[in-house]
Amino acid sequence: MIKILYITEDRYPPFRADVVELFAKQLPARGYVVDWLMQRGAGAEEHSSKTLLMGNTVYLAPRIMRGGVLGRIANNLLGFVYDFMILPRAFRGRYDVIHVRDKSFASLVACLAARITGAKFVYWMSYPFAESKIYQAENRLVPYHRLVWLKGQSIRLLLYKLILPLADHVFVTSERMKEDVAREGISLAKMTSVPMGIRADQVSQPENARIPDAHAPVLLYLGVILKLRQTEMLVRVLGKVRVRFPEARLIYVGEGQLPGDRQAVEQEAQRLGLSDAVTITGFLPMELAWEYVRDADICFSPFYPIPVLLSTSPTKLIEYMAMAKCIVANEHPEQSQVMQESGVGQCVPWSEEAFANESCRLLADPEAARQAAARGPDWVRTHRTYDVIACNVDNVYKNLLSMKS
């Protein structure tokens, strides 16, 4: 039996598939004991400081349920103080692994606790948050850009000079991220890439692929709307597609992180006279969001080709493939590899012309588009379900602990 203390930036109850599937379901099903440390999220006010998540013990940090700047400051301070609770919790739990996901200061406390108790300290880097903050600040995509830039630089310094060098193992989200982190001086030998996946029961069958509707096609984007990712570009793609398919519509299944993110899409639609053809659903429960995906004719996976996004592992691409959808995606390290290996399509350059041309190509030859989409589910089932991913993570932990002195 392997015992893990899992410390994550996610709020309770967590919703990210990789967090819940791996650490609340798959690893416990393989005999692991996983205790969690995390802050409360909205709707968790009534939970006691010790609660359960799918049978796993969760220790919840106190949280002030108040909005605004003062509320954020207070909760950041509470989270900072609660990070020190890692030490007594590590002593009481006698864990084999203390695992931190995307938390900087908590990692320093976790590393100290691991060294004192003899546990292995593992860090999980799901996204280049430091680089993202710096990029957004330098391009003034966020309010208080000077403070955001300072925070990004601080996180970067802690991460690459202290946290990752001290970690016994580092999980990253893609092979490209592994290369990027290695350029910062971190050994490739102690890194493992774990891409995004999907539950096995959510993978469709090849025969569910359908011929796209060329009369009134529905184009869809699933995910967060961000100016950083230039997701408003898809409105211009719609405009070009409507030259050949005038009844085409575009649906954004998601919401902006900041009001300006959504406004960028709405303003572009208004500028082009496409407001009636563009819908933004806002955040939806996962199952409802996937209903929109199932009804779509073409699904977009755009990743603006800046360094901070090249190391990502696109979840939406895997979800589209699992549901046997026709996909238009741009060139990106992981997307290009997955699209080529699976045979579901060919990535196009980042431009509205390329996205529009590929969309029109699929709509003009709907049977060929359906055949390509039908290859998605089997590839996902073989390579990207969380059953498969959990086996790889399980092997890393066991190999790591076999070296325990």
Distance CA 158, CA 107 (A): 9
pLDDT reading at 405 higher than 60: no
As beta bridge partners, residue 198 has: 385
Contact yes or no for 219/371 (Cβ under 8 A): no
Is the pLDDT confidence value at 217 over 60? yes
- Cβ partners under 8 Å of residue 383, min gap 6: none
Question: Strands 50-53 and 97-101, how do they pair?
Answer: unpaired
Look-up of token digits 């030998």 = 189
| Per-residue pLDDT at 404 | 58
Beta-strand ranges (E) seen in 16-61 are: 33-40, 50-53, 56-61
Secondary element (H or E) of residue 361: helix 352-364
Rg (CA), the chain: 22
Predicted structure pTM score: 0.89
Q: Which CATH superfamily is domain 3-126+167-196+385-402 in?
A: Glycogen Phosphorylase B; (3.40.50.2000)
Domains of the chain by residue range: 3-126+167-196+385-402, 200-383
Mean pLDDT value of segment 241-261? 96
In this predicted model, what pLDDT tens digit does every residue of 270-314 receive, in sequence order? 999 999 999 999 999 888 999 999 999 999 999 999 999 999 999
CATH 3.40.50.10490 fits 200-383, yes or no: no
In this structure, what token pair is assigned to residue 210? Answer: 């359908």
Q: Which pLDDT does position 65 carry in this prediction?
A: 66
Distance CA 200, CA 384 (A): 9
Over 90: is that where the pLDDT of 203 sits? yes
Sheet holding 218-222, edge to edge: 278-280, 249-253, 218-222, 298-301, 327-329
Eight-class DSSP state of 119: P
Query: What DSSP character marks residue 125?
Result: E
Query: Are 221 and 265 contacting, i.e. CB atoms less than 8 angstroms apart?
Result: no
* Residues 43-86: tens digit of each pLDDT: 776 777 899 999 999 999 877 766 676 777 777 787 788 889 99
Tens digit of pLDDT for each residue in 333-357?
999 999 999 999 999 999 999 999 9
**What pLDDT, on the 0 to 100 scale, is given for residue 106?**
94
Domains 3-126+167-196+385-402 and 200-383 share a fold: yes
The DSSP result for 167-184, as a single string, is -SEEEESSHHHHHHHHTT
**Helix ranges (DSSP H) in 118-182:** 129-138, 145-158, 164-166, 175-182
